Each structure stands twice: as C-alpha cells, then as structure tokens.
A and B are shown apart, each in its own frame.
Chain A
C-alpha cells in the first residue's frame, strides 16, 4: 500500500552518498566533463595564438600569456589584491543589505495589501528606472567613498528579492493560512511559522539573480568615482591603453560574481533541503 519514494533525496540520502572527493573524481572522469575541459583548452589556445594569426594587435586583444603577465605585475605594482578585497567587500555588504531590505519590504507589502496598493506605482517606477544611472548621483552625495558603490548594489539587488518574496506571500495557499488560523495562530506566529518559510524557495531564486547583479552595481559605482576597486582599475587600464589590465579586471570581477553565486547555491541546498531533487533541475550548478 503506502510506499516511500526511496529515490527522493532526503536527509538520509546524505549519509549513504559517496564523499565529496569520490564524487568529484567521478565527475572528472565523465565524458561531458572531459569535453568541457577540452572546450576551455581550445578557447585558451585560440586566445593565445588567434590574434597573431589574424593580425590583431595586442592593444586590441592581448594574448592570454600577456594577460597573465599583467596579472602578476598588478599584484606587485598595483596592490591588486587590495582592490579585489575592496570590491569583494562592497559586493558582500551591498548584496547583504539589498537582500535584507528586499526581504523586509517584500514581507511587509505581502502582509499588507493596502501598503502594496499605495506604494506599488512608486516601487514600479523605481524598478523601471535604470539603477546604474543613479551611480553619478550617489557619488555626488557621498563622494569617493564606499557608500555610493554599496548603495547602487543595494538598489539593484533589492528588486528581484522584494518581487519574489512579495509574490510568494501573495500566492500562498489560503487554506494553509486558514489552517494556522484554525489553531488560533497570532499574526506573528503566522508569519514566522508559515509565511517566512513559504517565501524561501522564491527568495533563493531572487538571491541567485541578486548575487550577480550586486557585482554590476559595485563596478558601476567604482567606475564613476574613486580610486579603489576593480572598477577603478578597469577605467584606469582603459584610460592608459592597457588592454591586459582591463582583461584582468573583467576576469576577476567575473570570479567574484561566480563565488557570490556559488555561495548562494550552496546555502540554498542547505536551506531548501526539503525540496526533492534540487540539484537535478539546475544541472548541478
């Protein structure tokens, strides 16, 4: 009669699953992984020798070896890691604050249809406004400090988080609310025991988007004003016709974005462990 779905990944699946190391080794041996690495090798080779082959000068596309050399030069001469740390810290703070604000406003608007009705036109207007356009304004307000960078990141991260949390609360099964009410739950209990958790899956969808947007916000802020961060190095390299420096900056910014994204996915797997076959749907990413 009643059978349990053994294939579903549950809390017990973790104890019997192979270790991280075994899984990594197995993954590396897979054909698809080998092909994927092959693509990388081909790409790097094309980057190294392609430009010379087509007579593209190094100030347009510097070969990969030159970008590497520039990377090590920047470490010693330009305090590269100081700038990386600066940008990374701004991304983390901007992402965290944007997330908290988005959750807060999302939950508030979700619980109060009146507030949503009153505020939605303004929120929509702010959402449509290109957030990066605010960067020069924030620099005017706060000068060449970390604040304009963080503020742009907060603003840009805020929307996907808020919209997802709000949507989750709006579409919450009314019978679930009634169930809690029938047990005489207070408004606060309804929030902490039902609404808060119900909004988690959409919240994480928003966080995935937000983690990459935070990098954009910070870079734009840095490009507009100041003398720190990868955004600054990017503009500086561009201004001094140092294409390799621009490439290094772009690559490191991408790495920061990837780390932020992976951190979100890692957290998501732990928080949303109760959702079956989470990894499968995202291709393991």
Chain B
C-alpha cells in the first residue's frame, strides 16, 4: 500500500492543569495518549468518541496549530511542525468573516497565500459553482442560511487545494435534512477529487455513511480503542449507503463501544 497521507505515531498531548485542586499531584492533563493512526491516500476515516476525549486536540495537531507533547505527526511524509498547505480544516462553526462577501470569504486562504486577485477570483467562483452557491458570490454571510454558510466554508476549505481535510463535526449544527444534503455533497466531492479526510463526528450513522474506516476513542485520556472497516458499497453516495441494510450491523456495535446504552440505563 502507498505511503499514508496522514499519520500519527505514538502521539501524546498534555496540557498544563490550570484548575488543579490542592493535593493533586499531577500538574498537567493528558488529553490524548499514545495515539497511532494512519489515513491512506483518498481514504475517509471517521473518529468517534465521547465528549472531551481529545478528538479536537488530535485535529489541531494534524493541522500544525498544536504540537504533540511526544510522538510525531506526518502529512505527506513530512513531519508537521507548523500549519502547512497540505492540510485544511473545517469546524462546526462556519467561521465566515461577516465583513467579506461569500466570494471574498472563499478567497481568504488564497489571499493569505498571495495568489493573484484574478486567479483567486476565478478559483472562488468555480468552487462556489461546485458547492451550489453560484448565485450568492456577492452576498454577505448574514444573508445565507446555516447550510449555505457551511457550504461556503467547504468551498473556502477546498479553495487552497489541500491534500488532507480535517473536519471537526462540520455538520453537527445543521438540521437533519440539510445535514444529509451536505453529507452527500461531501461524499461526492471527496471521491471526485480524491481528497484524504479525517472526520470527527458524534453522529454514528454519519460516520458509517461517509467513511471507509471508523476509529473509536476512549474517555480522556483519549486513546484509540477500536478500529473497523466499513464494508459497505457506495462511499461516494452517502444517501444510498444510508439505506443499505448493512448499516444496521455497525450502529449497535458502535453504541456498545461507546457505552451509550449504559449511560441511558
């Protein structure tokens, strides 16, 4: 198999413990512990785990915003030491700049990379077209619905043409139907462009519908406790995959791994 696009090798991240009570020995909190994972070229991997298990910490390290306390992160075979152009991230919040039009928002990353105005404009319009926002280039974020704003955020992420997309619950703030439409768009875009994706989610069905592989993390300190391949067809068509009978076998498995039933009892 080819060299992995994204790789975490024995990554541990500790943060200083700010609200430590008296007598507590440890002066730091371990957010993630000994995480080793790799995502192959063009693969979509979902990461599921309880709240506060350090998923977002992993993502920050992947994008170079945060450095591991020990271990290494590699993207395209290069050790990640700072934010780099191979990786782009997308969060639950759209993070659109309210003072910029949608087109200017999509151009944001290109502008920082000092791409010529005419080129970045062309690229932005092309992506807006792909993301079904062609009529809204000159609108401002407040004029768009949540789903459209998230599409614009997607266009902005794709504009810098990263090889790896790090996504932190990008659709979790959307209503159920909009969410499915955007999942469909993502599924299609990812397979059309061959992007590599690490996708954090709380939504078990979303994980199964979108990914090739699912990783399950434990409570803090977060570590990967289970990994399985989603052996279902139609990764590029999440709507179709959702209705596949095979989905039913994965969801209860995930529920038991995450102790969801016990929490309810």
Number of residue pairs spanning A and B whose beta carbons lie under 8 angstroms apart: 83
Of A10, A178, A181, A275, the residue contacting B98 (CB under 8 A) is: A275
Whether B95 and A179, one on each chain, are in contact in the complex, defined by CB atoms closer than 8 angstroms, is: yes
Q: How far is the CB of A276 from chain B (nearest CB, A)?
A: 5
Q: How far is the CB of B168 from chain A (nearest CB, A)?
A: 9
Of A5, A173, A194, A197, the residue contacting B143 (CB under 8 A) is: A5
Q: B165-186: which have CB < 8 Å to A? A: 177-178, 181
Binds A, one of B37-45, B107-115, B121-129, B257-265: B107-115
Whether A8 and B108, one on each chain, are in contact in the complex, defined by CB atoms closer than 8 angstroms, is: no
Separation of A33 and B145 alpha carbons in the complex (Å): 36
Most buried by A among B60, B64, B89, B99: B99
Separation of A274 and B143 alpha carbons in the complex (Å): 9
Whether A1 and B178, one on each chain, are in contact in the complex, defined by CB atoms closer than 8 angstroms, is: yes
Whether B108 and A183, one on each chain, are in contact in the complex, defined by CB atoms closer than 8 angstroms, is: yes
Chain B binding surface, main DSSP class: loop
Most buried by A among B82, B95, B178: B95
Question: Chain A interface: which size bin?
Answer: 20 to 34
Q: How far is the CB of A11 from chain B (nearest CB, A)?
A: 7
Chain A binding surface, main DSSP class: loop
Of B65, B98, B178, the residue contacting A182 (CB under 8 A) is: B65
Whether A183 and B113, one on each chain, are in contact in the complex, defined by CB atoms closer than 8 angstroms, is: yes
Whether A10 and B140, one on each chain, are in contact in the complex, defined by CB atoms closer than 8 angstroms, is: yes
Separation of A10 and B197 alpha carbons in the complex (Å): 36
Q: How far is the CB of B77 from chain A (nearest CB, A)?
A: 19
Give chain B residues whose Cβ lies under 8 Å from the Cβ of A2: 144-145, 147-148, 178
A185: CB under 8 A from chain B?
A: yes
A137: CB under 8 A from chain B?
A: no
Give per-residue flags for A175-194: 1 if the beta carbon is below 8 A from chain B beta carbons, else 0: 11011111111000100011
- A175-B93, A194-B97, A200-B99 given; A183·B160 CB < 8 A: yes
A3: CB under 8 A from chain B?
A: yes
Residue of A nearest to B82 (CB): A184
Give chain B residues whose Cβ lies under 8 Å from the Cβ of A1: 147, 177-178, 181
Separation of A3 and B95 alpha carbons in the complex (Å): 20
- A173-B95, A175-B95, A176-B95 given; A4·B143 CB < 8 A: yes
- A193-B108, A200-B99 given; A3·B145 CB < 8 A: yes
Give the number of residues in B that approach A within 8 Å (Cβ atoms).
38
Separation of A184 and B91 alpha carbons in the complex (Å): 17
Whether A184 and B85, one on each chain, are in contact in the complex, defined by CB atoms closer than 8 angstroms, is: yes
Give chain B residues whose Cβ lies under 8 Å from the Cβ of A4: 136, 139, 143-145, 148
Of B64, B100, B112, B144, the residue contacting A185 (CB under 8 A) is: B112
Q: A251-271: which have CB < 8 Å to B? A: none
Of A183, A194, A274, the residue contacting B142 (CB under 8 A) is: A274
Give chain B residues whose Cβ lies under 8 Å from the Cβ of A176: 95, 97
Q: How far is the CB of A128 from chain B (nearest CB, A)?
A: 31
- A2-B178, A4-B144, A11-B140 given; A183·B83 CB < 8 A: yes
Separation of A274 and B97 alpha carbons in the complex (Å): 10
Residue of B nearest to A185 (CB): B112
Query: Please, could you name 13 A-B residue pairs with CB atoms under 8 Å apart, sorted by A?
Result: A1-B177, A4-B144, A5-B142, A173-B93, A176-B97, A182-B65, A182-B83, A184-B112, A185-B112, A193-B108, A194-B97, A200-B99, A276-B142
A179-B108, A274-B99 given; name 18 further pairs at CB < 8 Å: A2-B145, A4-B136, A4-B148, A5-B143, A11-B138, A175-B95, A176-B95, A176-B97, A179-B95, A182-B83, A182-B87, A184-B82, A184-B85, A184-B112, A274-B140, A274-B141, A275-B98, A276-B143
Q: Which residues of A contact B (CB under 8 A)?
A: 1-5, 8, 10-11, 173, 175-176, 178-185, 189, 193-194, 197, 200, 274-276
Closest CB pairs A-B (n = 10): A183-B109, A183-B112, A274-B140, A185-B112, A2-B148, A197-B99, A276-B142, A2-B145, A182-B83, A179-B95
